[in-house]
Amino acid sequence: MSDPILEIRGLARRYGTRQVLAGVDLALPAGARLTVAGRSGVGKSTLLRLVAGLESPDAGEIRLAGRLASRAGATVLPPWCRGVQMVFQDLALWPTRSVQRHLVDPLRAHGVPRAAAAARATAMLARLGLAALVDRRPGRLSGGEARRLAFARALVLEPQLLLLDEPFASLDPVARAAGFELLEEVLAATKAAVVMVTHDPAEARALGGGVAVLRDGAISAIQPCGELCANENSFRTALES
Amino acid sequence: MRSPSAPAILACVLLAGLAACGRQADLVVYCSLDREHSERILALFEERTGLKVEGQFDVERNKTVGMVNRIIAERDRPRADVYWNNEIAQTIRLKDLGLTQPYFSESARGIPEDFRDPDHHWTGFAARARVILYRVDLLPAGTRPPQRLDDLADPAFAKSGAMAQPLTGTTLTHFTVLSEQRGAAAVLDWLERAKAAGLSFGGGNADVMRRVCEGDFVWCLTDTDDAAVARRNGNPVATLHLDQEAGGAGTLLIPNTVCMIAGARHPDAARKFLDFVLSPEVEALLAASRSEQVPLHPGVVTPPEVGLPDRDFRAMKVDWPAAAALLKDRAEAFAEVFVR
Amino acid sequence: MRLRAASPGAPSLRYGAAWSACGLLAVLAVAWLPLLPTLPALLSFGGLSELAEPRLRALFLRTAAFAAGSALIASLVGAPLGLIAARVRMRGAEVLELLLPLPLLLPPLLIAQSWHGLTGMDGMSSALFCLGLCYAPLPALLVARALARQGIGAHQAAVLAGGRRLALAEMARCAAPAAVLGGALAFLFTLTDFAVADYFGAVGEKFTVYSFEVFTHWRESDYRGGARAAAPLVALAGAVLFFTLLWGDRDVGGGGASRPPRLGLGRGNWIAGGLGIALIAMVLVVPLGRVLYETGMRGPVGEGAWLARSGAAFRDAAQRGGPDLGRSIVTGLMAGALAMVLAPVPAHLLARMRPGAARSLLGVAIALPLLAPAVGYGLGAILVFNRDLFGNFYESRLLPAVVLAGRYTPLAVFLLAERLRALPRSGEQAAALAGISQPAVLWRQRLAAQRPAWLLAGGLVLVFAIRELDLAVLLPGANRSAAVRYYNALHFARDNFVAAFGAMIAAVLFLPLALQAAVRGLRPATETA
């Protein structure tokens, strides 16, 4: 049996006197989808940043495809070597780079030759409907276009694990549905595992897969999304109980 | 977080301003001589008379024309009672602009007439001589520093020496005097020859003096007060008076000058100060100070380092009003040569 | 000031426009009054047409090239220093960041003399090097500030997507406008400096800068001629500032409340650390060290060993220069406090105006007192304020405070505008909806939120007021000051008294920043990739 794509053991993180995560355990098979749900401020985004290697844990360890990625006080695998990409809550686009360079520059930084990088970027932008906007900067994109660009940037590097930090939080239901359609389409092509954090049952339902509730610094057992996300009340109860 | 309001800050400013105000001065002296020396003289005058003196001082970095600029800018409502200049040309200019008033001080009686305005608007005292300062340790064996001004433009000397550009201060005065004596064209030609010969030109007399002390040059043309500093700071230097050969022009002496400002608000105190500052006692103090000013009164007791005219060297004869009249024109002509 | 609801029927936006205009007029009145006697000549085409003369044209072009060279050096030294101090994860980076503004507080001539004393360097290239070093803290500070405001997400996305290389490239893009603005400021300051050029011009290649041509007119008390001669410099400086502000208005993102994390460079940390230490040594430690060393060198004060001479020099400096330094501090405090009152309104306007030509033009207009030659500004102050109408104000200690505040408030305005711009507008809009007047919003909310920056703006004016020489010579209430004492003594002899007094002034100039740092506390290093 192959190693899980993501394995977390006893993960803890403290900010000053506030213990945000206190012994998180989690295992995620390759290609799986997981929603991490929880109330605001429980440490959902912190968990993603730890998995991405943007922060180091105070205790515990993180393994990615069997390789030790982080342990207490240290980031063993640097973020850019983990095969993990992330779509940030605020999208975190680069204001002075064109749409095209949002994709080409990361590829170049990973050693992809210029011509190949341009070709891969062009293909990804075409797939996400951004082909006509290659020279624009983020400031001149609509909200939906900017979101697609954030996805394109994360996916062009063909990550094994995609982290989504409330990527559709501020969208109306129609735009959100379109966003999930887009996500389905690209995931079908890349087969990447996905961890998404949210406190919205509709988003969890749209992603499918399992739901892990983060509460009091730890994760409850992973439950299937079906019954938990069926209605607002059951989801809210799960977050609060 | 509570921030102080604008009125509160303004009130603090006004209070600080009021708190900073002291007793009004009985005499205001604008002074271009280095504060290091003049301040002590002002303090002594205060001590003797009980008058409160407000000294306002200039700096070399703006070529000591700050006080002249102020006197001219304040002409409609003069604030200075007395102007104590460390040279002479700008004082004559103030007189020509009608910004001074006559006063003959009995203290000035012993000072040679060359250094006194015939109309008693200004009086010279405590002079500086234009001399060669040279490094005794860097001078090649069997050689001498320049003896005559014309030697400075001689390639044999020029490459190892420096002088200030004749754009400001005593160097401008010096070369304006030379222009008056030799003719403007001859002096411009001299400057061009000196440049071509490799003579270095610096920003001011103190600058070239420092470069000699630091060993960048063997000699420089400077003033005796700068030369005194170099020697007192322990540098292996000596001074030499130019053009002392038979028939030579002699060494230029540039006196301090003092004048009473037209419309002075404290005329009596101003006269008292002029009587004091022109006295042999003050000349002796300035001679004994670190600037080693050359007294113009006869018989003033001086330290042995201070060379005296007619005893240790021959002074140049100068028509000061004629030279001062040329100053602006020559300054512009010299700027054409050097500010490019 | 209490939060007050606007009365019904009094539209707060119109009221806001009126008080903004009043505030701006107050600033212009204080800052521009001394300019009035010279303004027509300063902004005349007559001055520009004098550049038709080959000598002046050559001098002007060389001076512009000289200033550009200094700006380039300042940017090349300052930008990496700012980046290392603000965003590289290494031991002592916080201390490095704290030291960044200090070299800016030292008089350029002091830095020049220190380097000359150490190396014997001379000529135009040495002047360029020294002026570049003197002004390197400008791009360093601005770059550090810009990088402190980089969006955290954008930085982390760069780390994740492209590693250190892309993260550094993203930082460089974020910092580029700040580096250019810092370089432009270095250009402006170099353009008007002739003391350093004068100092290095004595040996070897003799060169002159255009500001000396301006000075020759002041020497003749020809203030209109001086202003006319200065017109090309002011026009060039204004144009550079205009285009820099325009370009600097580009959106480089960021503006978040939190500071993005420092970046670990792996083995590169050693190189960055070494480079940071070398650069701060060049701009601060070496000049200051030399000055301290000179306090115990030969001179008129003290005998015996170095320590005894140094101690005697400091005692002498305290005795002779202490009262002057005290007066300078009082004047500087008054100027700084006035600037704190004057700066918020124009800063608020600049922060709220839409980026573009109008905003840049307003920036240039606000900066004009700083772009004009100091001597002309001082002579203008005499011509304006030495009247019966003003009574004893002309001779009071308030005059220099007002004039110095007028000249240096632009610095406070730009600093504050940059910080106010970082605040979200939503708070202001919410206050307007609640009927709170705009002055109350500015003073009680926005300035309160940026109080450290507001204090720093006042501190900056205090420091520059203490450093100012030309105005101190010309203004009656400012003449008995530390700057005049220092430069007066410096001319006479560069001895241990001068060194000790210079060190004392430097210590006082460092004080506002040291206090601010003490209040703020050293920020702990943020841990991240």
Residue B271 touches chain C, beta carbons under 8 Å: no
Closest alpha carbon to C140 in C174, C90, C97:
C97
Q: Which of chain A's residues have a Cβ under 8 Å away from the Cβ of C523?
A: none
Cross-chain Cβ contact C154/A96 below 8 Å: no
Same domain, C206 and C326: no
Gap from C304 CA to chain B (nearest CA, Å): 14
The owner of tokens 């411009």 is B188
Same domain, C288 and C399: no
Of C120, C397, C492, the CB nearest to B36: C492
Q: Which of chain B's residues have a Cβ under 8 Å away from the Cβ of C498?
A: none
Backbone dihedral region for residue B263 (phi beyond 0: left; psi -120 to 50: alpha; all else: beta): left
> pLDDT digits over A135-188, tens only?
999 888 988 889 889 989 998 999 999 999 988 876 777 777 877 887 888 788
Same domain, B225 and B112: no
Residue C519 lies in a domain: yes
**Alpha-carbon distance B230 to B239, whole Å?**
10
Residue B12 lies in a domain: no
Cα distances (Å, whole numbers) of residue C361 to B330, C350, C406, C457: 41, 10, 18, 22
Q: Taking CB atoms and an 8 Å cut-off, how many pairs form between chains A and C?
A: 89
Query: Hey, what amino acid is at C358?
Result: A
Residue C247 lies in a domain: yes
Closest alpha carbon to C194 in B33, B63, B69, B213:
B63
Cross-chain Cβ contact A95/C528 below 8 Å: no
Q: By the 8 A CB rule, do C37 and C383 touch?
A: yes
Mutate to test the interface with A, among C156, C160, C170, C251 (most CBs of A within 10 A): C160
C30: CATH = 1.10.3720.10
Cross-chain Cβ contact C163/A92 below 8 Å: no
Same domain, B132 and B247: yes
Last residue of a domain, one of C294, C314, C331: C294
What chain B residue is nearest to C205 in terms of C-alpha separation? B200
Residue B9 lies in a domain: no
> In chain A, how long is the greatest CA-to-CA distance?
54
Residue B45 lies in a domain: yes
**Alpha-carbon distance B213 to B220, whole Å?**
10
Same domain, B69 and B122: yes
Residue B219 lies in a domain: yes
Same domain, B132 and B191: yes
pLDDT recorded at residue C6: 39
**Alpha-carbon distance C103 to C505, whole Å?**
13
Same domain, C197 and C240: yes
Side-chain half-sphere CA neighbours of C236 within 13 A? 24
Q: By the 8 A CB rule, do C83 and C175 touch?
A: yes
In the 8-state DSSP scheme, what is residue C5?
A: B
pLDDT recorded at residue C206: 62
Residue C363 lies in a domain: yes
**Alpha-carbon distance A224 to A213, whole Å?**
11
Cross-chain Cβ contact A94/C253 below 8 Å: yes
The domain total for chain C is 2
pLDDT recorded at residue C519: 65
Question: Which letter, b or e, does each residue of A90-121 get, where b requires 16 or more Cβ atoms within 10 Å of its Cβ?
Answer: bbbbbbbbbbbbbbbbbbbbbebeeeebbebb
Same domain, B122 and B133: no
Same domain, C406 and C512: yes
Same domain, B83 and B152: no
Residue C165 touches chain A, beta carbons under 8 Å: yes
Cross-chain Cβ contact A79/C174 below 8 Å: no
> pLDDT digits over A31-87, tens only?
899 999 888 888 899 999 999 999 999 999 999 999 999 999 888 999 999 999 999
Same domain, C516 and C431: yes
Closest alpha carbon to B163 in B85, B252, B88:
B252
Residue B315 touches chain C, beta carbons under 8 Å: no
Same domain, C286 and C141: yes
Residue C360 lies in a domain: yes
Q: Which residues of chain B fall below pLDDT 70? A: 1-7, 9-10, 13-23, 61-64, 340
Gap from B266 CA to chain C (nearest CA, Å): 15
Residue C8 lies in a domain: no
The domain total for chain B is 2
Contact call for C and A: 3+ CB–CB distances under 8 Å = yes
Same domain, C133 and C279: yes
Residue C45 lies in a domain: no
pLDDT recorded at residue C12: 43
Same domain, C379 and C502: yes
Beta partners for A67?
A: A64
- Give the pair of three-digit tokens for residue B152: 């400075």
Residue B147 lies in a domain: yes
Same domain, C90 and C31: no
Mean pLDDT of chain A: 87
pLDDT recorded at residue C13: 45
What chain C residue is nearest to A79 in terms of C-alpha separation? C160
**Alpha-carbon distance B332 to C9, whole Å?**
66
Cross-chain Cβ contact A55/C528 below 8 Å: yes
Same domain, C21 and C122: no
Q: Which of chain C's residues have a Cβ under 8 Å away from the Cβ of A93?
A: 154, 157, 253
Residue B314 lies in a domain: no
Q: By the 8 A CB rule, do C481 and C501 touch?
A: no
What chain B residue is nearest to C387 in terms of C-alpha separation? B77
- Give the pair of three-digit tokens for residue A97: 């780079």
Sequence-ordered alpha helix ranges (H) in A40-158: 44-52, 99-109, 114-127, 143-155
Pairing state between β A218-219 and A210-215: antiparallel
Same domain, B115 and B158: no
- Give the pair of three-digit tokens for residue C149: 């405001």
Range of the domain at B193: 128-252+331-338
Cα distances (Å, whole numbers) of residue C209 to B93, B246, B339, C193, C443: 27, 42, 8, 8, 44
B93: CATH = 3.40.190.10
pLDDT recorded at residue C526: 40
Side-chain half-sphere CA neighbours of B266 within 13 A? 20
**Alpha-carbon distance C341 to C26, whole Å?**
10
Same domain, B122 and B268: yes
Residue B326 lies in a domain: no
Contact call for B and A: 3+ CB–CB distances under 8 Å = no
Residue A56 touches chain C, beta carbons under 8 Å: yes
Residue C162 touches chain A, beta carbons under 8 Å: yes
Q: What angle do CA B332, B334, B335 make, to 5 degrees?
A: 60
Closest alpha carbon to C171 in C272, C68, C70:
C272
Same domain, B137 and B163: yes
Same domain, B58 and B148: no
**pLDDT by 10s per residue, chain C, length 529:** 444 443 443 344 444 677 778 878 888 888 889 998 888 887 777 777 778 888 888 889 989 999 999 999 999 999 999 998 888 888 778 888 888 878 877 778 878 878 887 887 777 888 899 999 889 988 998 898 888 888 888 888 999 898 888 999 999 998 888 898 889 889 988 888 777 887 776 555 567 788 877 877 776 667 778 888 888 888 999 999 998 888 876 655 555 556 777 877 777 788 888 888 888 888 888 888 888 888 887 666 667 788 888 898 899 999 989 999 999 999 999 999 999 999 998 998 888 888 889 999 999 999 999 888 888 889 899 989 998 888 788 888 889 999 999 999 998 998 888 788 877 777 777 776 776 777 777 777 788 777 878 888 898 899 889 988 888 888 988 888 998 888 877 765 667 888 888 888 888 888 777 776 666 654 444 444 4
Same domain, C383 and C516: yes
- Give the pair of three-digit tokens for residue B119: 């109309």
Same domain, B65 and B151: no
Same domain, C25 and C89: no
Q: Which of chain A's residues have a Cβ under 8 Å away from the Cβ of C152?
A: 92
Cross-chain Cβ contact A90/C151 below 8 Å: yes
The owner of tokens 């405070």 is C401
In the 8-state DSSP scheme, what is residue B232?
A: H
Range of the domain at C348: 16-39+300-529
> pLDDT digits over A204-227, tens only?
888 888 888 888 888 877 788 777
Closest alpha carbon to A59 in A4, A6, A8, A5:
A8
Cross-chain Cβ contact C161/A53 below 8 Å: no
Residue C176 lies in a domain: yes
Last residue of a domain, one of C242, C276, C294: C294
Residue B321 lies in a domain: no
Last residue of a domain, one of C236, C264, C294: C294
Element (H, E) at B261: strand B253-261
Residue C405 lies in a domain: yes
Same domain, B119 and B48: yes
